[in-house]
Copies of this chain bind each other. A is one copy, B any other.
Amino acid sequence: MAEITYLEAIREALFEEMERDSNVFCMGEDIGAYGGAFKVTEGLMAKYGDQRVIDTPISEAGFVGAAAGASHMGMRPVVEMQFIDFISCAYDMLTNYIATARYRAFLPCPLVVRGPSGGYVRGGPFHSQNPEAAFLHTPGLKIVYPATASDAKGLLKAAIRDDDPVLFFEHKYLYRRIKEEMPAGDHVVEIGKARVAREGKDLSIITYAATVWKALEAAEQLEKEDGLSVEVIDLRTLLPMDDEAIIATVKKTNRVLIVHEDTRTGGVAGEIAARINEHAFEWLDAPILRVTAADVPLPFAPPLEDYVLPQVADIVSVARKLAAY
């Protein structure tokens, strides 16, 4: 089979799931005839019609709420945010109504909210966000953020089939930049399981989304230049978090570097650090360190964006310090 991009993998998942289950339908701004701002849903309306591929008014709370209502009745809505930054407008609906529906009212809420996330694309402060941390502290939600094309496909399929609401973050830098051959058949990747993206024994980098690639590149460089064997863990799912995989790598390498693209304070790295403390403190030979964005709104100009976001060189330099600790 031919290689397809991360974006095409997502599209393939949508086609396959709409085909498999007539309850699956899509909503979002400009996803129909236009195929979405990034063309993820291209061709979907032509095939499934405008009842199952619905162009919405500009009202994120409105159509995310509508997705919840439809999901109570057995539908499986997949909602696109034109940019994930606009998920903030549906924050109340997601955290208060949707996340609690099953718990407080025994209402199933199987829906997916997906959209282009992340920076490194000169998108400026409102087209580059990584909002995962703002939802991490909402029991009832699941959060997925794939780094590879096959995970993007397999996890989206799993998200659509999941009986709970899933936030599915897609990294827009990866949309057309990475390619992969899809596993044959009905490729579903279990939600909640991390992936060892690279085996290593001296040091672990725990990360997810686009920075998985930064970490892999740093690992290669560290191997070549320093002879260090670096393990890279791609979390893939942030909620529920795969404690087993995290603990396993800590016990193996005893040194942990957490990398994420999101701002530092209040980012996901904190939660990971706390969990490692609780479950594997004795195995730590060095402090858990973080490489993240600086605590500023993400600026637009290339020199500024480059300075604020974590880069390979940052990972390399911190990893060296950690290895030498």
Binding site for B on A (CB under 8 A): 85, 88-89, 91-92, 95-96, 99-100, 103-104, 125-126, 133-140, 239, 241, 258, 262-263, 265-274, 277-278, 281-282, 284, 286-290, 295-297, 299
Contact = CB atoms under 8 A, between A and B. Distances in A.
A135 B134 CA distance: 7
Nearest to A280: B287
Contacts of A297: 99-100, 103-104, 139-140
B96 A85 contact: yes
A267 B241 CA distance: 14
Contacts of A258: 274
A296 B139 contact: yes
A290 B274 contact: yes
A265 B2 CA distance: 40
Of A134, A281, A288, most B-chain CB atoms within 10 Å: A134
Contact of A136 (B92, B266, B274, B277): B266
A297 B277 CA distance: 25
Contact of A125 (B91, B104, B296): B104
A268 B137 CA distance: 10
A281 B287 contact: yes
A96 B289 CA distance: 28
A297 B263 CA distance: 26
Of A270, A281, A299, most B-chain CB atoms within 10 Å: A270
Nearest to A287: B281
A295 to B, nearest CB: 4
Contacts of A270: 269-274
Contact of A274 (B91, B92, B273, B281): B273
A101 to B, nearest CB: 10
A273 B32 CA distance: 46
A62 B270 CA distance: 33
A15 to B, nearest CB: 32
A125 B100 contact: yes
A159 B99 CA distance: 32
Given A88-B91, A270-B271, A273-B277, A263 B139 contact: yes
